[in-house]
């Protein structure tokens, strides 16, 4: 069983959070010092800063395995590959052409990198469909299958049964990625590990999209009590938590911990990732947090909400300005600022 850290990527999707390059590099060094040997650190296709930071993390040799995340597109595979990281890909929220997806996975697997593929939202699939899709993914060359409870609606029983089914049918490493919308991220993660999952995706303070994913401190404590060797250095983990807590308080304030509460917290209805904003039929978010992971769909929605429409060329330029400003300042960008950018 291995613990993987996702604070640098998933944590950057937490409402109100944005990191500068230096903050991401500092985070990587502290995560490494805490004994974590595997990390998903970026979304390289989102911005040049994500490429640069990933290259720095790879060069620093902080982790045994470094991953960058992207869509199942050849250009995303190439961008991740250029950083020196291993390749993590997520399937679309709605799969329309599995043949094209298989082709991209085969393309990635022809490289010298580990290839991980995430089947976005496990809850939406029947057991029969799940096995059918995973069979094609594994046969296409994926080394690791990630099973995300993307919407945070799974139960420990469902996760346990799902992992047992996958392990019964496939000889491949399984990673678990559980969101906390319903408060079950830690319980679902532990249940999946007990069923045979190999890798557990976590973040510091459980930071992540909407109200986050499984908290590394919590799962580490529970796993150690059950006799698992997590290899986590707890004194250095505390140093890491202190640093991240200071970042959260400086960027958001203590209200974050109220907003981030499962079920009733405000963050449940806030999206950051551009891929989420581009899938309004899947994610029912009523609000957005804008940073380097924000895409055209979200900025277009913000402009439309105030009656502004711009052409695609100007939209692309505006999105770049938004991303640049967020990375340079280490903060989220307000809707007012976005409007001022097109008026200035």
Alpha-carbon torsion (115, 46, 6, 36), positive or negative: positive
Longest Cα–Cα distance of the chain, Å, equals 60
Nearest 5°: phi and psi at 71? -80, 165
pLDDT value for 287: 82
Residue 267 burial (C-beta neighbours within 10 Å; 0-12, 13-18, 19+): buried
pLDDT score for 274: 54
Q: What is the pLDDT of residues 45-91, one digit of tens each?
A: 999 999 999 999 999 999 999 999 999 999 999 999 999 999 999 99
pLDDT score of 96: 87
- Using one digit for the tens of pLDDT, what is the confidence trace for 2-17? 999 999 999 999 999 9
Which domains are seen in the chain, by residue range?
2-253 (3.20.20.70), 259-343 (no CATH)
For residue 284, what pLDDT is reported?
A: 60
Confidence of residue 282 (pLDDT cuts 50, 70, 90): low
Please give the sequence-ordered ranges of beta strands (E in DSSP) within 53-181, or none if there are none.
65-71, 86-90, 115-118, 144-149, 173-178
Question: In angstroms, rounded to a whole number, what is the distance separating the alpha carbons of residues 253 and 233?
Answer: 28
* Confidence at residue 281, expressed as pLDDT on a 0 to 100 scale: 55
Residue 17's nearest CA partner among 201, 231, 256 is 256
Quick one: pLDDT at residue 275?
57
For position 305, what pLDDT does the model report? 84
Q: What pLDDT was estimated at residue 285?
A: 60
- Stated as kind and residue range, the H or E segment containing 4 is strand 2-5
42 alpha-carbon distance from chain centroid: 8
Top pLDDT among 321 and 281 is at 321
pLDDT at 290 over 80: yes
- 94 exposure class (CB count in 10 Å sphere: 0-12, 13-18, 19+): exposed
pLDDT one-digit tens code per residue, 106-152: 999 999 999 999 999 999 999 999 999 999 999 999 999 999 999 99
* Lookup: tokens for 332: 């989220």
Could you report the per-residue pLDDT of 187-213, keeping only the tens digit for each?
A: 999 999 999 999 999 999 999 999 999
With the C-alpha atoms ordered 10, 131, 198, 112, is the resulting torsion angle positive or negative? negative
Which residue has 């796993």 as its token pair? Answer: 223
Burial code of 36-63, b = ≥16 C-beta within 10 A, e = fewer? Answer: bebbbbbbbbbbebbbbbbbbbbeeebb
pLDDT tens figures, 156-187? 999 999 999 999 999 999 999 999 999 999 99
Q: Which two tokens stand for residue 58?
A: 């790879």
Q: CB–CB of 161/154 below 8 Å? A: no
Residue keyed to tokens 């997590």: 230
Distance CA 194, CA 157 (A): 11
Q: Is the confidence at residue 280, as pLDDT, over 60?
A: no
> Within 10 Å of residue 70's Cβ, how many Cβ atoms?
25
Q: Encode pLDDT of 291-318 as tens digits.
A: 999 989 889 988 988 888 899 999 999 9
């Amino acid at each position: 069983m291995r613990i993987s850290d996702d604070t640098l990527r998933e944590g950057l999707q937490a409402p109100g959070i944005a990191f500068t390059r230096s903050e991401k590099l500092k985070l990587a060094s502290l995560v490494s010092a805490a004994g974590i040997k595997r990390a998903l650190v970026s979304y390289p296709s989102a911005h040049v800063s994500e490429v640069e930071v990933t290259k720095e993390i790879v060069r620093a040799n902080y982790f045994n395995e470094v991953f960058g995340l992207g869509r199942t597109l050849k250009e995303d595979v190439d961008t991740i590959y250029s950083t020196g990281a291993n390749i993590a890909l997520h399937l679309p929220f709605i799969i329309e052409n599995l043949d094209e997806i298989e082709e991209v996975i085969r393309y990635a697997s022809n490289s010298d990198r580990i290839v991980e593929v995430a089947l976005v939202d496990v809850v939406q699939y029947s057991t029969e469909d799940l096995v059918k899709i995973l069979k094609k993914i594994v046969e296409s060359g994926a080394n690791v299958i990630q099973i995300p409870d993307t919407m945070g609606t799974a139960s420990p029983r469902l996760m346990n049964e799902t992992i047992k089914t996958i392990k019964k049918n496939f000889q491949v490493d399984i990673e678990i990625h559980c969101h906390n919308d319903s408060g079950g991220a830690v319980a679902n993660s532990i249940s999946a590990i007990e069923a045979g999952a190999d890798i557990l995706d976590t973040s510091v303070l459980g930071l992540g999209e909407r109200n986050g994913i499984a908290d590394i401190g919590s799962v580490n404590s529970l796993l150690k009590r059950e006799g698992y060797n997590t290899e986590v250095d707890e004194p250095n983990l505390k140093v890491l938590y202190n640093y991240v807590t200071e970042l959260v308080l400086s960027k958001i304030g203590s209200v974050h911990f109220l907003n981030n509460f499962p079920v009733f917290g405000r963050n449940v209805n806030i999206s950051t990732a551009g891929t989420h904003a581009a899938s309004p039929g899947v994610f029912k978010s009523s609000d957005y947090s804008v940073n380097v992971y924000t895409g055209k769909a979200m900025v277009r929605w913000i402009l439309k909400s105030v009656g502004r429409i711009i052409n695609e060329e100007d939209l692309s330029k505006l999105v770049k300005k938004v991303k640049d400003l967020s990375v340079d300042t280490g903060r989220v960008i307000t809707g007012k600022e976005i409007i001022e950018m097109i008026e200035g």
